[in-house]
Every structure is written in C-alpha cells, then in structure tokens.
Chains A and B, each alone.
Chain A
Amino acid sequence: MTHSAGEALPPIDESFPTWRMMAYGAATWDWYQVHFDHQVAASMGLPGPFVDGQQWGAIFARQLREHFGPQAFVSKMALRYHAMVFADERVTGSAEITTLRHEPGGQVAEVLHRLEKDGRPVASCRSEVRLPD
C-alpha cells in the first residue's frame, strides 16, 4: 500500500469501564489500587480510579498496526501525558502521517497521535514505523 503525508489513521473512540482498567492492570502486573478501586481513589481526592497513562501507548500502537498492517514495525514512540482519564470517561483520538522518509532498510512513517476527552488534550505521541517493502 502506498502512503502519503497527511494521511489519517483510524480514529479512536472508546470508554474505560473499571473492569477494563482492572484487566490492563492485571496484564501488566500493576495492581496499584487507584487504577480500579473507587474507595481508594476517593480517599485520594480523585473522582474515580484513573486510567494508567501507559495504556495510551498500547492503544496508539494498535492504531498503527490497524493502519499499516501486520508487517509494519513500530520502532519509536514518544508519549506525553496531559490529563487524567477516570473510570467510564470517553476518549477520542486522531492520528496522521506527518512525514515519510526513505532509509536504507526501507520507508519510515512518522505519525502524530492526539487523544482528547471533552475537547481537552489527554495524551499525545510521536511514533516512527518501518514499513514493509
């Protein structure tokens, strides 16, 4: 498949019920209670358990695979976290190819991802993906 700068990746639109946050915590060996326990979150003055920010990296990586296919290789990701997302909140995200360049091993796509809730930034990421010939 031919790609070009400005090309959009599949959008993100999803919510995070507590069970999903628990599943991610278990899958990453992170049982930190504030990611799934409402009482603990309340005791810390938070409106609810909050999503582990590292999960955004997994979701951005999924977005890359969905767009570039199973043979693309994600070589770099630089994430920035801007705001917390609490249980049952909805996030939406977009991403686009910002640059395509040729290297000795093949073509490399640079992608900018943005994630928001209620129009406010939650996380952003710059990724690099080596594309199959």
Chain B
Amino acid sequence: MSGLLTDELRAFIGAERSYPAQEEVGRAAIRYFAIAVEDRSPLYHSDSYARAHGYPSRIAPPTFVVESGAYAPGTPNENGYLAHEWDIPMEGFRNIRGGQEYEFMRPVLPTDRISVKYVLESIEEKSSRDGRGQLMLISVATYTDAAGEVVATNRETFFLQPLAQTTSAEAAP
C-alpha cells in the first residue's frame, strides 16, 4: 500500500460539525422534494389526507431529511456546492460515494426544526479492486428535532481514489 493515510488526514478522524436548525422544515420544501422525486402521494401535499391516515399533518418522504443539504450555513463554493463538507485536503483525489445506511425513527413533519451533527468516524487505507490504494471514509450524520430526539441517522461511506485510478462509480458530492 502506498501511505495515503497521512498524519494530516488522520487528524480528521473524530472531527465533528454541528449545524443547529435555522427554521422549520416547511410545507413547500416537502412538496417540492416530492415533486422532484416524482412521488405523487397526497401524504406529502395534503394535510387532510395525511390526518385521515393517522398523521398530525402532511409528512416528508422518508429520505427527505437525509438527502437535504439545507443544514449547513454559508454560500455555495466555486462548484455550486453548499452542503456540509469536511474540508479534507483532496488534491489529486476524486471523491467516490460508496453507499449510505439510513435509519429513520419517525416521519418528519413540516413543523419540525431539524439540527444535524456530523462525525467523521473513520478513515482507513484500503485496496481497490485492482490492488491499488484508496482511502475509505465513514461519516455519520445524526438528525435531531427541537426536543433533542433523534429522528434519523445517515452513515455514509466515501472513497478517496488517486485520480489516475478513478473508475466510473458514483462520484460525490
């Protein structure tokens, strides 16, 4: 292996970033997301339909809370990217998203105020399929409501591959 995991990178292990809720989720944001993913269920745009099925109001589609980049404050970078980043030095690497594990505790409502905390759980050097080195990062996001109760978690796996060996897998963000 090629010593990709430098002390500079190792120092990021255990890093945390927290983003307090800035506002309620909102009905429009939920409806917009549902339209964008072509989910036409009235659950996401009709309060009366949702109440008839046992919910206090319309709800958000399950992955709304974990797919949104709305939490991080700030302005878009030069690539238009706005959401949370670890600011890891990545010159000469491409960031490949490997997968995610979501856990949902309850439906998200338009009146929820969602805060999120990210923890960079691990960085490990791994062999890619062709035997060359790459870095595997695991980042865990925990989403909480105004009462501090966890509503969802998102455990994401990324690979940092030297550009010379990048494959056609999903590139992130």
Verify A81–B98 contact, CB threshold 8 A: yes
Verify A79–B104 contact, CB threshold 8 A: no
Verify B104–A57 contact, CB threshold 8 A: no
Choice from B33, B53, B170 contacting A84 with Cβ under 8 Å: B170
Instruction: Report the bound CA distance from A29 to B33 in whole Å.
Output: 10
State how many angstroms separate the Cβ of B55 from the closest Cβ of chain A.
8
Please name 10 further chain A to chain B contacts, defined as beta carbons within 8 Å, in addition to the given A31-B82, A34-B79, A79-B102, sorted by A numbering.
A27-B29, A28-B69, A29-B82, A30-B81, A30-B83, A40-B79, A50-B170, A55-B37, A70-B50, A76-B104
Query: Nearest chain-B residue to A74 (Cβ)?
Result: B62
Residues of B close to A34: CB separation below 8 A: 79, 171
Query: Nearest chain-B residue to A53 (Cβ)?
Result: B170
Interface centre among A23, A29, A65, A83 (most CB of B within 10 A): A29
Residues of B close to A81: CB separation below 8 A: 97-99, 169-170
The reply on B92 being an interface residue by CB < 8 A is no
Residues of B close to A83: CB separation below 8 A: 168-170
A14-62 with Cβ < 8 A to chain B: 14, 20, 23-24, 26-34, 40, 50, 53-55, 57-59, 61-62
State how many angstroms separate the Cβ of B116 from the closest Cβ of chain A.
12
Verify B107–A33 contact, CB threshold 8 A: no
Instruction: Classify the interface of chain A: helix, strand, loop or mixed.
Output: mixed
Query: Nearest chain-B residue to A14 (Cβ)?
Result: B38
Instruction: Report the bound CA distance from A85 to B28 in whole Å.
Output: 28
The reply on B39 being an interface residue by CB < 8 A is yes
State how many angstroms separate the Cβ of A107 from the closest Cβ of chain B.
17
Residues of B close to A2: CB separation below 8 A: none
Choice from B41, B61, B103, B106 contacting A58 with Cβ under 8 Å: B61
The reply on A82 being an interface residue by CB < 8 A is yes
Instruction: Report the bound CA distance from A65 to B104 in whole Å.
Output: 15
Residues of A close to B50: CB separation below 8 A: 70
The reply on A8 being an interface residue by CB < 8 A is no
The reply on A90 being an interface residue by CB < 8 A is no
Choice from B36, B43, B76, B103 contacting A23 with Cβ under 8 Å: B36
Contact flag A70-B43 (CB < 8 Å), given A27-B32, A84-B168, A84-B169? yes
Verify A29–B80 contact, CB threshold 8 A: no
State how many angstroms separate the Cβ of A128 from the closest Cβ of chain B.
9
Instruction: Report the bound CA distance from A96 to B103 in whole Å.
Output: 20
Residues of B close to A40: CB separation below 8 A: 79
Query: Nearest chain-B residue to A64 (Cβ)?
Result: B62
Instruction: Report the bound CA distance from A33 to B171 in whole Å.
Output: 13
State how many angstroms separate the Cβ of B127 from the closest Cβ of chain A.
18
Choice from A26, A62, A74, A79 contacting B38 with Cβ under 8 Å: A62
